Amino acid sequence: MGLLTFKSGIHPAYRKNSTEATAICAAKIPKKVVIPLQQHIGAPNKPLVKKGDIVKTGQKIAGSDAFVSSPVHASISGKVKAIASTLHPSGQLITSVTIESDEKDEFFESNPGKREYTDLSSDEIRGIAKDAGIVGLGGAAFPTHVKLSPPKEKKIDAVILNGAECEPYLTADHRLMLEQPEKVVYGLKAVMKSLNVSKGYIGIENNKKDAISAILNMAGKNGADIEVHGLQVKYPQGAEKMLIKAILNREVPAGGLPMDVGVVVQNVGTTVALADSIRDHKPVIERVVTVSGTGVKEPKNLMVRIGTLFSNVIEECGGLNEGARKVIMGGPLMGLAQPSLEIPVVKGTSGIVVLTENEIKAEKARTCIGCGSCVDVCPMFLLPTRIANFSKYDLTEKAEQFGVMDCIECGCCTYVCPSKISLVQWIRYGKGNILEKRKKIKS
C-alpha cells in the first residue's frame, strides 16, 4: 500500500512511545468539575441551571437556540456550586458551571431505548449530534451537526475520517482506533448516512500500523464503501487541507472550507462520540486525553470527564517532574500554553503535554538571513518570512496580498527557523489586525 501525503512539512521527533502502548484507562471521577459553557466555535450558550441546583451526569446544563452552537452537559452528578467567569484553556474568561460531586455519578435518564443509525434519517442523526453536544474532538471544536448540514448548493461526495494524529506526543486517537475500531467505523457510517454520501475514507499515519490493521478489519465489514489509507508520517498531515490533498488530491480553495471541494472531514474521536450518542444516548461528558511529555511522571491515556481540572489529571499521572515549566493543551506544535493548572479539560482537549526547562529554552531571535527554510516547509506554499515581516511592520495590505490569511498556523516555519524568529506569532498578530479592520469596515 503506497503511503499518501502532501508536499512540504516537517519531521519533528514524535515522542509517542511513552503512551502509544498504554491502554486508555478511566480517570477517577473528580470531586469538582468546572464546565465552561462555551466549548465550541459559535454562538454562546445560556446556563439552564442555577446555583444550588442538583444535577445528574449527562444532564444538559447550557444551550442556545442558535444553529451554530452546541449544548453542554453535566459530566458528574452533584450540586451546582457556582456559575461564574473562569479561565478557559483558550485564554479567555468564560462563564462556567462548577459542580461539586455527590460521588454517586448518577446518570440522567432520557430515552433508554436502543437506536441504530440505520433506522434513523439524516435529520435525526444531525439532531442527535446536536443534542449530545458533539463538536470536533480533534481540537477545533466546531459543532458537528453544522458540518453535517452543508448548504444545498454544496454537493458532498466524500467523508474523510482523520486518524493522522500528526502532533508529537499525542496518542489519544491512536488508542481509540486500536481499542474501539467498531465505534470509529460505526460513527463514520452514521456521518455518511446523514450526509447521504456513499464514499468514506480513513487516513492514518503509518506510525500506527496496528491501528491501520484494526480499522482495516472493521471497515471491510457489511459492504460499506470505506477506503483505509496509510499516510506518510509527516507533520501537519492531519491538517484538514493537507489530508484532503493527500487522500483525494483536491485543493480546498483559499479562504474556503472542505465542503467547497465536496468533502467533510471528521476526527476519529468525534465519530466515536457520535456512535455513543446514537446507540447509548450518551452526550459528550468525557474524552480521551493523552497526558505526556518529559514533565509528567507517568504518561498515560486517560478517559477524563469534561471539566476536570488539569491539576487533577496530572495528579493521576503521578504529578509533575522536577523542572516542568510549560503546560500545553494539545500538541507541542499547535497547542496552547496554559498559565496555571487550575484550568478545566474541555471537549477540544486532545492532550496535556508538559515540557521541561531545557526543552523550552527561548533562544534570542536573530535577523532573518533569507535561508528559505520556512518556504521549504510551508505546506500552504506561503513565504512565511515575508508575511511575518509585513505583519510585524503593520503592512497589512501587503501581508494580505501575500496570503497571510491562508496560513494554517501549523508552526512548521517557526520550528525550522535557524534565526529562531517566532514567525507564526507575527503572522497571528497580522491576522488579528486584518480581522479587526474587516470588522470595522462591516460595522
Partner 1 sequence: MTDIKLVISSSPHIRNDESIPKIMFVVLAALLPAAFLSIYLFGIKAILLMATCIIVCMATEYVFQKCRDKEITLSDGSAALAGLLLAMTLPPSFPLLGAALGSVVAIGLGKHIFGGLGFNIFNPALIGRAFLQAAFPVMITTWDDPFAWRSPAVVDAVSSATPLAKMKFDQEFVPAQDLIIGFTGGSLGETSALALLIGVVFLLYRGYIQWRIPASILISSLLFGGIFWLMDSTQYPEPFFHWFAGGMVLGAFYMATDMVTCPITPKGYWIFGCGIGIITVIIRLFGGLPEGVMYAILFMNAFTPIINKYTRPKILGEVKK
User: Which residues of the shown chain bind partner 1 in the complex (CB under 8 A)?
Assistant: 10, 12, 168, 241, 245, 251-254, 256, 311, 314-315, 319-320, 324-328, 332-342, 353, 355, 359-360, 362-363, 366-373, 375, 379-383, 385, 402-403, 406, 409, 411, 414-420, 422, 424-425, 428
- Nearer CB in complex with partner 1: 8/122: 8
- The angle that helices 268-280 and 122-131 make with each other, rounded to 10 degrees, is 100
- Nearer CB in complex with partner 1: 143/331: 331
Least Cβ distance, residue 32 to partner 1 (angstroms) = 15
- Nearer CB in complex with partner 1: 122/396: 396
- Nearer CB in complex with partner 1: 226/407: 407
Phi, psi of 90 (to 5 degrees): -75, -10
Q: Which helix (H) or strand (E) holds 200?
A: strand 200-205
Least Cβ distance, residue 251 to partner 1 (angstroms) = 4
C-alpha cell at 250: 483536491
Least Cβ distance, residue 269 to partner 1 (angstroms) = 21
Distance, in Å, from the CA atom of 8 to the CA atom of 233, rounded to the nearest integer, reads 12
Least Cβ distance, residue 402 to partner 1 (angstroms) = 7
- Nearer CB in complex with partner 1: 217/321: 321
Least Cβ distance, residue 53 to partner 1 (angstroms) = 29
Can you list the pairs that 242-245 forms with residues at least 24 positions away whose Cβ atoms lie under 8 Å?
242/6, 242/9, 242/379, 243/160, 243/162, 243/164, 243/203, 244/160, 245/6
Within 10 angstroms of residue 68's Cβ, the number of other Cβ atoms is 14
- Nearer CB in complex with partner 1: 153/363: 363
User: Which residue do the cell numbers 434513523 mark?
Assistant: 120
Reference 291, options 283, 300, 279, 282; nearest CA is 300
Least Cβ distance, residue 435 to partner 1 (angstroms) = 16
- Nearer CB in complex with partner 1: 212/355: 355
Phi, psi of 61 (to 5 degrees): -115, -10
Least Cβ distance, residue 260 to partner 1 (angstroms) = 9
- What is the widest separation between alpha-carbon atoms in the chain? 65
- The angle that helices 181-195 and 122-131 make with each other, rounded to 10 degrees, is 120
